[in-house]
Amino acid sequence: MTIIVTGGAGFIGGNFIFHMLKKYPEYRIVCLDKLTYAGNFSTLNSVMDNPNFRFVKIDICERTGVFALFKEEKPDIVVNFAAETHVDRSIEDPEVFLRTNILGTATLMDACRHFGIKRYHQVSTDEVYGDLPLDRPDLFFTETTPIHTSSPYSSSKASADLLVLAYHRTYGLPVSISRCSNNYGPYQFPEKLIPLMIANALNDKPLPVYGTGKNVRDWLYVEDHCKAIDLIIHKGRVGEVYNVGGHNEMTNIDIVKLICKELGRPESLISYVADRKGHDMRYAIDPTKIHNELGWLPETKFADGIKKTIQWYLHNRDWWEEIISGEYKVYYQRMYGDRK
């Protein structure tokens, strides 16, 4: 079995590669990654010497390179993690999100059609559903919830989802889609909430929180997400969408306060900044379908997962300190420095 994993030098993609090589040592895993700012080659250091792993630097929009790789590797399965994902960046520069997330997806599926595959899997997000009101805790996103996007990022991911389903209906491409809630865990790029707060707290820097911090997210430990995708590509039904959620709803401000407590840092570091444009209030996923069909349930309680995550960042400072130096510092100042 040969699996091409796009975006494998990123957060979730890298963790998925680790999971697959450990669980299926006989599989060949080919990582395709452009190595943008969020793709960190050092994330893959532990698997670079594995004889069943190969890394190839390619932009998924580069049709010639993608087709050449498919011709050479003859993959059985393609799992597409490659995407621009940060909402703030999509508000600042939408075009790159449209190119990578929509046109890149089309390029991959065209290659799949041309060379024949057993499964193309699209890794999507719960953000395609928009948001839920804070005063309705009984409401959850299901696979039949209408798409109602709020940002250029979520719009680009929703567009890709629709394109994937269209390729299934029009060309018979064997596809599946997973829409996950907010992931957290090792190797997450430090522009995201949890690693940003950990890094800043460790350096006694202000902890920027949008608005009042009352926005609610459903948090999913990254290893649980990887196990869900593993199940879907092996046993999930073709042409189906599966929601993957952690049943761990928490407000942003409560998470920041928890991180302060775990690290022994004062809550006085918290700095409220001007809210993000079009900021969604609440995400909450109902994972009943994947549980009933494939037996998946999240295994990691948030209280345990956040402690494991904090410990990882404490013990791997070299990985994230290298990232937050240089270009990222300029971006960080632009995004948060003037939002008082």
Active site residues: 126-127, 153
Q: Which residues, listed in sequence order, are joined to residue 180 by a DSSP beta bridge?
A: 125, 244
The candidate with the shortest Cα–Cα distance to 84, out of 173, 142, 160, 150, is 160
Contact 121, 105 (CB under 8 A): no
The candidate with the shortest Cα–Cα distance to 192, out of 230, 226, 222, 212, is 222
Q: Please, which residues have CB within 8 angstroms of residue 3's CB and are 6 or more apart in sequence?
A: 20, 27, 28, 29, 30, 75, 76, 77, 78, 79, 233
Contact 248, 222 (CB under 8 A): no
CA dist 54 and 32 (Å) reads 9
CA dist 177 and 181 (Å) reads 13
Dihedral sign computed on CA atoms, order 243, 227, 137, 289 = positive
Strands 119-125 and 77-80: parallel
